[in-house]
A and B are shown apart, each in its own frame.
Chain A
Amino acid sequence: MKKSVFLGTVAAATMIAGMGMAQEGSTLSQVKERGELNCGVNTGLVGFAAPDANGNWAGFDVALCRAVAAAVLGDASKVKFVPTTGQTRFTAVSSGEVDVLARNSTWTYSRDTDLKLDFVGVNYYDGQGFMVNKELGVTSAKELDGATICIQTGTTTELNLADYFRANQMDYTPVNIDSNAEGEQQYMAGACDAYTTDASGLAATRAAFANPENHIILPEIISKEPLGPAVRHGDNNWGDIVRWTLNALIAAEEYGVTSRNIEELVRSSENPEVQRLLGTTDDLGAMMGLDAEWAKRAILANGNYGEIFAANIGEQTPIGLARGLNAQWTQGGLLYASPFR
């Protein structure tokens, strides 16, 4: 009896391991064969990735997944969203559970090298901030000595927080939480004085509060957090596809290509950059195993970078983030898509 149980366990373990083994061949062919893109997203951060009232995922990161699906599969709806926590996200990428990770993940040295990920670009330039209740009367992060601070485990913010308080010779008590929702609950109940994460995440979290005006985001930004999509290290072609899809969205805004005027531009644009981007002259798509209209479909999915930003997290939305660093380089921001040629 004991033996058969053991054998059963071994057999089960073997099958699980076997499923892991099946991840061979290029990611592009796998995605095409599957007919669906597996995209790792946040478990729920309004504006970036959260299911709406009908259960459809929407948000800034979600839009990127849809653009990649549109470029590769020709259908922006063929995405399976895999919610990942701060702890599970990178394992999900390296184990092949997701093809792309678009989950407010900071591009850092060790993640790029030691964790064997490839960050293919930056879709949001962010920095870590603090949110406190107005009643506390705190106006600067320097006044947080002795405070209890809620923090998501397994994030770069955890390390930044430790560094910042040590550098300023202040004390704090961390309250480790697993997801943004839990952090929200603890913060609202007053179990922590301050909640820290990326400033964009704070704005998104605050937007979901019943009384957002009672909470302020402190002016200090204590770190650089370039958030970007990541893919598995080793499949360079797949990395190229995600990188250039992101670049296409950014370049489209720069060249004034929007989801509304794109059909017209395909027919009439005289700008050679736009022609190459939309595949009307050169066939750039073939160089990475896609067809000529990949970028057109990616832009049509949710619009260009500016449209995605405005629709999900821009100043007209409850989250109300200004473009700031995330404006085009021509507007004084950091967005700078490499040339399409």
Chain B
Amino acid sequence: MTDVSASAHASFRPSMLIYDRRYRSLTFQVIVFILVMAALWWLIGNTISNLNAMGKSFDFGFLFQRAGYDISGTPIPYTGNDSHLRATVVGLLNTLIVSILGCIAATILGVAVGVARLSKNWLFARLMTVYVEIFRNIPLLLWILVIYAVFTEILPAPNAYRGDDPAWSMILFDHVALTNRYTAIPTLGMDNDPGSLDLGARVTVNWATIAFVVALVGGWFVRRAINAHAQKVQDRTGVRPATLWKNLAVMILPSLFLIWYFGLHLLPPALKGFNFTGGLNITNSLVVLWLALTLYTAAFIAEIVRAGILAVSRGQSEAAFALGLRPKRTMNLVILPQALRVIIPPLISQYLNLTKNSSLAIAVGYMDLRGTLGGTTLNQTGRELEAIVLMMLIYLTLSLIISAGMNVFNSRVKLKER
């Protein structure tokens, strides 16, 4: 008898690359790898040769040229004399603003609707079903345009507020004016302005803002300490000391003191010339985009929340009731913690979707990243490839950051297995 394994080694035939299971997977991986690399190489080579044919180069120098165009709604100071880079940053900040506002509002609305869909009130639950089905089955762009049209056509031009007997009057004690361009709200004035902290690049933060942030964050930590102490006392004695007033005090009193110290007051907007001035004009494009993104994404989040709650078996809540827990505590202590581990992963996708969907902003003239870098800058400089590549990189980075942050949160709420 011959040694089987020795003879197999000795007589390697090329056909074994396909027919022998030991080599087959490796063969196909190598083939796929080569094909992918060849395709990439061809794509890049094609791009380079086409750029050469058009006599164009690939460089980002245009970012430092004067932009020359104006932007409505700038979170940081910006004029047409600034560079395209600054215009890009303005656009990025606008993207972040609408995304963050959208994520917060969509989460609140989505959780509320998701819970409401499980309500025993037949009419209420069906109404929520109608909302969810309408919003998630119609393209977002249409919602944006519809809501924009409603804002533009129904609300009046600022002119309607003019005269002794105006057609429209300001609401909330003459502090807020709704127009078809923007919502004019009051700004904050200070009698005792502490000045601003200069962060460089003409970005400043008022010391009063910093003081308020410190007061709120500090208050939150103190509140946590109070609650932890109350828990300890409860564990030791079985009686939980009253914490409500202490909590309210540490959260609110420092802010009240700061308001008094800085002499904070409201500066209502007033109609002057063509527009309201003196207040803060929040453009309708931001409000519309925010509203549309919120309503659209909340419909998806509602379904995720509903699925998450339904994923917790009925025995859990029955057990909680049997232990004498009230429905609210059952929800907070038993159902939600278990539902969260089902809810969080798809929720991450929804946040990413919302952020990327915000690039539809151009439909309503909201100057986000797509509107500045991918819109006017691209068009005025003719640097399509550079602008699009840069924009893709920025959105990719943004999405990866959101994803990483939410994954950390996910690992904290997921089922602890011991």
- CB atoms of B181 and A175 under 8 A apart: yes
- CB atoms of B275 and A154 under 8 A apart: no
Least distance between A131 CB and chain B CB atoms (Å)? 15
- CB atoms of A87 and B375 under 8 A apart: yes
- CB atoms of A7 and B69 under 8 A apart: no
**A7 proximity list for chain B (CB < 8 A):** 32, 35-36, 39
Question: What separation, in Å, do the CA atoms of A11 and B42 have in the docked complex?
Answer: 11
Q: Is B367's beta carbon under 8 Å from chain A?
A: yes
Least distance between A78 CB and chain B CB atoms (Å)? 27
Q: Is A162's beta carbon under 8 Å from chain B?
A: yes
Contact with A along B342-383 (1 / 0, CB 8 A): 000000000000000000001101010001000110111110
Least distance between A144 CB and chain B CB atoms (Å)? 8
**B149 proximity list for chain A (CB < 8 A):** 185
Complex interface: stretch among A40-48, A190-198, A210-218, A237-245:
A190-198
**A175 proximity list for chain B (CB < 8 A):** 72, 181, 285, 365
Known: A147-B275, A158-B376, A162-B69. A176 touches B46 (CB 8 A): no
Q: Is A267's beta carbon under 8 Å from chain B?
A: no
**B69 proximity list for chain A (CB < 8 A):** 158-159, 162
**B245 proximity list for chain A (CB < 8 A):** none
Q: Is B27's beta carbon under 8 Å from chain A?
A: no
Report which of B70, B79, B379 forms a contact with A154, defined as CB distance below 8 A.
B379
Question: What separation, in Å, do the CA atoms of A26 and B277 have in the docked complex?
Answer: 58
- CB atoms of A162 and B277 under 8 A apart: no
Q: Is A116's beta carbon under 8 Å from chain B?
A: yes
Least distance between A202 CB and chain B CB atoms (Å)? 19
- CB atoms of B274 and A148 under 8 A apart: yes
Known: A114-B381, A146-B277. A190 touches B159 (CB 8 A): yes
**B272 proximity list for chain A (CB < 8 A):** 146
Complex interface: stretch among A13-21, A246-254, A293-301:
A13-21
Between A87, A153, A177, the greatest number of chain B beta carbons within 10 A of the residue's beta carbon is seen for A153
Contact with B along A92-130 (1 / 0, CB 8 A): 001000000000000000110011100000000000000
Contact with B along A148-170 (1 / 0, CB 8 A): 10000110001101110110000
Known: A10-B36, A17-B43, A90-B382. A191 touches B275 (CB 8 A): no
Q: Is A282's beta carbon under 8 Å from chain B?
A: no
Q: Is A139's beta carbon under 8 Å from chain B?
A: no
**A115 proximity list for chain B (CB < 8 A):** 382
Nearest A residue (CB) for B375:
A153
Least distance between B94 CB and chain A CB atoms (Å)? 12
Count of residues in B whose CB is under 8 Å from the partner chain: 51
**A287 proximity list for chain B (CB < 8 A):** none
**A166 proximity list for chain B (CB < 8 A):** 79-81
Count of residues in A whose CB is under 8 Å from the partner chain: 52
Q: Is B180's beta carbon under 8 Å from chain A?
A: yes
Nearest B residue (CB) for A17:
B46
Question: What separation, in Å, do the CA atoms of A295 and B84 have in the docked complex?
Answer: 45
**B384 proximity list for chain A (CB < 8 A):** 91
- CB atoms of B72 and A21 under 8 A apart: no
Question: What separation, in Å, do the CA atoms of A135 and B159 have in the docked complex?
Answer: 10
Between B50, B80, B152, B379, the greatest number of chain A beta carbons within 10 A of the residue's beta carbon is seen for B379
**A165 proximity list for chain B (CB < 8 A):** 70
**A315 proximity list for chain B (CB < 8 A):** none
Q: Is B322's beta carbon under 8 Å from chain A?
A: no
The B-contacting residues of A in range 273-321, CB under 8 angstroms, are none
Known: A7-B32, A94-B54. A114 touches B382 (CB 8 A): yes
Report which of A6, A87, A185, A234 forms a contact with B36, defined as CB distance below 8 A.
A6
Q: Is A174's beta carbon under 8 Å from chain B?
A: yes
**B382 proximity list for chain A (CB < 8 A):** 90, 110-111, 114-116
**B68 proximity list for chain A (CB < 8 A):** 159, 162-163
Report which of B55, B275, B378 forms a contact with A146, defined as CB distance below 8 A.
B275
Nearest B residue (CB) for A11:
B39
Q: Is B315's beta carbon under 8 Å from chain A?
A: no
Question: What separation, in Å, do the CA atoms of A61 and B181 have in the docked complex?
Answer: 34
Question: What separation, in Å, do the CA atoms of A3 and B25 have in the docked complex?
Answer: 13
- CB atoms of B181 and A148 under 8 A apart: yes
Nearest B residue (CB) for A147:
B274
- CB atoms of A153 and B55 under 8 A apart: no
**A154 proximity list for chain B (CB < 8 A):** 375-376, 379-380
Question: What separation, in Å, do the CA atoms of A154 and B381 have in the docked complex?
Answer: 10
Least distance between B184 CB and chain A CB atoms (Å)? 12
Question: What separation, in Å, do the CA atoms of A203 and B293 have in the docked complex?
Answer: 37
Least distance between A201 CB and chain B CB atoms (Å)? 17
**A6 proximity list for chain B (CB < 8 A):** 36
- CB atoms of A186 and B152 under 8 A apart: yes
- CB atoms of B42 and A14 under 8 A apart: yes
Q: List 12 A-B contacts (CB under 8 A).
A: A10-B36, A13-B39, A17-B43, A17-B46, A91-B384, A116-B55, A146-B273, A154-B375, A173-B181, A176-B367, A190-B159, A191-B152
Residues of B within 8 A of A (CB): 32, 35-36, 39-40, 42-43, 46-47, 50, 53-56, 68-72, 79-81, 149, 152-153, 156-157, 159, 180-181, 272-275, 277, 281, 284-285, 362-363, 365, 367, 371, 375-376, 378-382, 384
Name the 6 nearest CB pairs between A and B, nearest first. A190-B157, A154-B379, A115-B382, A176-B365, A146-B273, A162-B80
